[in-house]
Amino acid sequence: MSTLRFHAVKASLKRKPLKIKEKKRRSEIFGSNVFNEVAMRQYLTKTALNSVLEAIEKGTKINRLVADHISTGMKEWAISKGATHYTHWFQPLTGATAEKHDAFFETIGDGLAIEKFGGNQLVQQEPDASSFPNGGIRNTFEARGYTAWDPTSPAFIYDKTLCIPTVFVSYTGEALDFKTPLLRALQVVDNAAVAVCKYFDKNVKSVRTSLGWEQEYFLIDTALALSRPDILLTGRTLLGHSPAKGQQLDDHYFGTIPARAMSYMRDLEHQCMLLGIPVKTRHNEVAPNQFELAPIFEEANLAVDHNSLLMDIMQKIAKRHSFTVLMHEKPFAGVNGSGKHNNWSLSTNTGVNLLSPGKTPMSNLQFLTFFINTIKAVQTHEELLRAAIASASNDHRLGANEAPPAIISIFIGDQLTRVLGELETVPKGKLSPKEITDLKLNVVGKIPEVILDNTDRNRTSSFAFTGNKFEFRAVGSTANCANPMTVLSTIVAKQLMDFKIEVDELIDKKSMKKDDAIFNVLREYIKTSKAILFEGNGYSEAWEKEAKKRGLSNNKTTPEALKIKKAKATIELFDSLKVMNKVESEARYEIEMEDYIHHVQIESRVIGDIARNHVVPTAVRYQNILIENVTGLKSIYGDRFKDFAKAQLVLIEEISEHIETINSSVTKMTEARKVCNKETSLEKKADGYCNKVKPLFQDIRYHCDKLELMIDDELWPLTKYRELLFTK
């Protein structure tokens, strides 16, 4: 095994950056493999084109006759690009994308064949749903599921396959994917936001949710990654002593991008351009061999699709460069983890960002309305928002090395905090002309200056306002963005609906003017939302105590966090807004709990295997060398041998102690796992894996890592942190 380690290091040191040739400007190739409006105008009839555009803009249905025309044009375009197959590309609840390829090729008898792709194949397919997570939605014998075309996300060509973004539902109609609830949530927040916008601008007809994700990741040489069974099977290192040098010198962040990594990035960005993924930013992240890329913001549904596609492309491109991409939120202990910051905002069809102040008091009052309502939504549903980013892998990241804690809080900056403080003093009831004038001139009117000069980021805040958007920083790097975006859009929609009811009631029943009513309602929201606002250090014990006093949840583990998903109020929230029905909500809770159990179970088996089959035998081997040395010294020096073998004897004893503890801990862990596996209750099983099995990982790791420091480097079988993190 040690031979494998050194072969891996040797192979990695011989790598050379691949030469990537970019013959055209990126603007010239952008979206060239996407069936976008430019391609549709060339390959579709006017009727077919208008039908697709109306479906995108207004959500209207496309009839089957028109679908035949669309499919014919799409097929001809795809074949002209070299495509031979098509697939319905969807996002099941596995967290990965899924696809089943069918050839355009069909026989027609007499030894003849044609390329065929009809409207039925475009609009709907019936993949086998039996092996996808379903949370009890369907019985095993009801294997059918349906994928249905989502025209709001354009088809694209990848690896000579026409990929058609679709939703995925069960035989009985329940959503089995991430996309379906997201589309419903986006529609709900659209309707709710438009209704509120009418207070300020009657011309607003639609509100789009925008999303800009920031994908963090590690690049590790493939040979090094394959030499580590834990990376291969779990995506992270379960063992490994921290190197003498980590990220403490801050010399990697925004530093010069290593040549091999740069070559990989250029190759990746070229593929992104072809597929219409508008990646714009790349840089070194905080930890060694950690990087980030970020796109221009897009409509949320398309942004989610692009991020899911990107994660798949990243792995495929990495193979060409002899890299393994680690998306895990915490692949290395003691250094920065990886997140996927979700930058979220709302924009109208008139081109106004609702979370960006304008040039007039009225536009700023509109900004304040959406700003404060978002804060209120997060305050009311902070526990649900925490559940939206819960996973076995993200549990390792939250609250460690610059990641936000498990406590959901909002950072808005000192200046905006003062603005809300002034609004909190608005008198109750109708306002005098002077009060209205003072508010608009001295508070609302000055907001653009405040935001321009004083917005800032707080690395320890999970949800921060950053000038014209909110940044949800607690989302994990492996996450499908649809999950947090569905929850955030739903809770904001519900809050906007409640806001409109309260404002209308003051206008109708109290005969208040519109601005008076809005100020009155916002004042109360500011008062009731103070607990969620926090400007300080989220890592501190003082904040944990303060958060508890404020009534904020601190669900540090996934089993704790997910409990809110099965709460009656949560199920009613999603059901009442028709985002998810009771069956769909309960299914997702069950799927996510099972996913947590399986992840911890796999890690438990892997760490037990490595400890007993790799670390302990190596320790025994080294111990035997020491014993042989001591025996030799005794044969030479007789009774005086202890004077010359003190260090060896101490090492022999310490190695034995570490071996004993490792073996006993692995045995305890195995027995604890057996007890958990017998549990019929999902909650008890998850709790057992979380609180009985998982804590033993740290004990096993501690003693294995101590042995790593003691044993001859030539014998140690596992590629070390210094090699994984500093081999460029």
Residue 648, pLDDT > 80, answer yes
Q: How confident is the model at residue 140 (pLDDT cuts 50, 70, 90)?
A: very low
Whole-model pTM over 0.85: yes
Encode pLDDT of 159-176 as tens digits: 999 999 999 988 778 898
Nearby residues of 725 by Cβ (< 8 Å), 6 or more positions away: 243, 246, 287, 288, 289, 332, 335
Residue 428, pLDDT > 90, answer no
Distances (CA, A) of 490 to 37, 372, 485, 506, 567: 30, 16, 8, 25, 16
- What's the whole-number mean pLDDT along residues 338-364? 92
- What's the whole-number mean pLDDT along residues 10-33? 90
Q: List, as one string, the DSSP characters of 601-633.
A: HHHHHHHHHHIIIIIHHHHHHHHHHHHHHHHHH
Structure tokens at 183: 């589309």
pLDDT more than 90, % of the chain:
71
**In angstroms, rounded to a whole number, what is the distance separating the alpha carbons of residues 692 and 694?**
6
Q: How confident is the model at residue 456 (pLDDT cuts 50, 70, 90)?
A: low
- What's the whole-number mean pLDDT along residues 254-275? 93
Amino acid sitting at position 216: E
Helices (H), 381-475: 382-387, 394-397, 414-424, 433-438, 447-454
**In angstroms, rounded to a whole number, what is the distance separating the alpha carbons of residues 593 and 395?**
13
Q: Is 343 helix (H, G, I), strand (E, B) or coil?
A: strand
Task: Sketch out the chain's domains with CATH numbers.
Answer: 31-176 (3.10.20.70), 186-580 (3.30.590.10), 595-726 (1.20.120.1560)
Q: How confident is the model at residue 192 (pLDDT cuts 50, 70, 90)?
A: very high
Encode pLDDT of 681-695 as tens digits: 999 999 999 999 999
C-alpha angle 352-353-356 in degrees, rounded to nearest 5: 120
**In angstroms, rounded to a whole number, what is the distance separating the alpha carbons of residues 146 and 169?**
5
First and final CA of the chain: distance in angstroms? 23
- What's the whole-number mean pLDDT along residues 621-632? 93
**Residue of 558, 556, 560, 555 whose CA lies nearest to 390:** 558
Other Cβ atoms less than 10 A from the Cβ of 369: the count is 23
Helix (H) or strand (E) holding 290: strand 290-295
Q: How confident is the model at residue 345 (pLDDT cuts 50, 70, 90)?
A: very high
Torsion of CA 61, 65, 67, 73, to 10 degrees: -140
Structure tokens at 163: 């990929």
Structure tokens at 698: 């740290």
CB 281 within 8 A of CB 269: no
At 340 the pLDDT is: 95
Torsion of CA 511, 514, 515, 517, to 10 degrees: 50
Distances (CA, A) of 529 to 75, 379, 421, 660: 53, 6, 12, 53
At 400 the pLDDT is: 65
Residue 411, pLDDT > 50, answer yes
pLDDT more than 70, % of the chain:
95
Note the residue count of the chain: 728
3-state SS track over 38-103: HHHHHHCCHHHHHHHHHHHHHCCCCCHHHHHHHHHHHHHHHHHCCCCEEEEEECECCCCCECCEEE
Q: Torsions phi, psi of 441, nearest 5? A: -80, -45
- Mean pLDDT (the chain) is 91
Structure tokens at 568: 């009656």
Encode pLDDT of 365-408 as tens digits: 999 999 999 999 999 999 999 999 999 999 999 976 567 889 99
CB 90 within 8 A of CB 179: yes
